[in-house]
Structure 1
């Protein structure tokens, strides 16, 4: 029992710290400090440095948490059921739900406005977030291509194309304070349109397509 409690306490502390970072990024942008995070999370600055080492490592830890949630459907590979469409739809819905979160919208607007003042921090945030998300998706697509579930092509370019299709113009709508896809129904409709368009561009090999057509269909369920 005693060995479990410290781990549980550490998890709770990490969650509080991550929540504090998300809140402060929306309020302060790149000016966020370790002092502010410690005060918001209810811990000491020494504790933050002991656990994370630096502000950049703390930001990377928070981004890792988001990436794990967004890409959880991709972790097991294309799967024995060959349900490429279902997996990509689930991924798209998770990604769109994150992009439409009000705190994420506020953070994106503030960080975009400040990027020219903090170029190194902005580049690091892009590398830790966008580039790593693209890399995870590219690995999954490469595996699907190797198995004949998708047409062979450059998986990194395909990943960037799919992410662009999923995002659409919502970033631009958010940036200019224009209504975007807030509702679950609107996000699902767009996710299906984007994923189906992507799959038409990267159809599976003929044999795999025939096998998928003969397989019993299952209703799609989205959990976000």
Structure 2
């Protein structure tokens, strides 16, 4: 069984291994072996098996590591107001757009899509479980805190998250996956994040929501 540390916050050494996995995916798609990772990360295969179990365990840890870069920002649940909620949602949206538009995420998603239903590996389900679904579980507490503070009104946190996810991502990910040379500058990402949060407040905000900002 893999060590517990590799399934939670990886050590610096484990992070270097996971970065090596992601680099290899960018360079060679699904031509990923434990031998290649061990060589790139300058460690033994025995260490990889000890930390991550098998190849799927290593891939799952790499996906979790990539997904961990999407953060919801800092907020105090007990003192959450409209501005703090907006700032946290915008931080998440901008962070998520930056991560999904990276070469690393594109390579990871392309391989996962190609493997889905092919029987080659479990990478598709690994990316869903440790990427999209894990990120949802990370953001929903913030949405629920906004509802508890009287700033948001919704019946189901998953549905609210799916709406927010759609407003943020729009068609960006599919365009990038299909090879569109879409360039997302920092200014563009920040503008799109603000736009998404504005629309989300329009749909789910209460009377206490902040005014929509002009773009």
**TM-score normalised over the length of structure 1:** 0.78
* Larger Rg computed on CA atoms: 1
Question: Who is 1:13 aligned against?
Answer: 13
Structure 1 Cα separation of the partners of residues 80 and 135 of structure 2: 24
Structure 1 Cα separation of the partners of residues 153 and 31 of structure 2: 45
Instruction: After TM superposition, list the pairs within 5 Å mapping 1:1-224 onto structure 2.
Output: 11-73=11-73, 76=75, 78=77, 80-82=79-81, 83-117=84-118, 118=120, 120-204=122-206, 206=207, 209=208
CA RMSD of aligned residues (A): 2.3
Give the Å deviation of 1:128.
1.6
* Aligned positions, number: 199
Q: Which runs of 5+ in 1 are unaligned?
A: 1-9, 214-224
Residues 28/150 of structure 1: CA separation in 2 closer, same or farther (3 Å cut): same
Structure 2 Cα separation of the partners of residues 150 and 47 of structure 1: 47
Structure 1 Cα separation of the partners of residues 34 and 94 of structure 2: 33
Report which of the two has the higher share of helix: 1
Give the Å deviation of 1:78.
4.4
| Conserved? CA contact 1:88–1:195, under 8 Å | yes
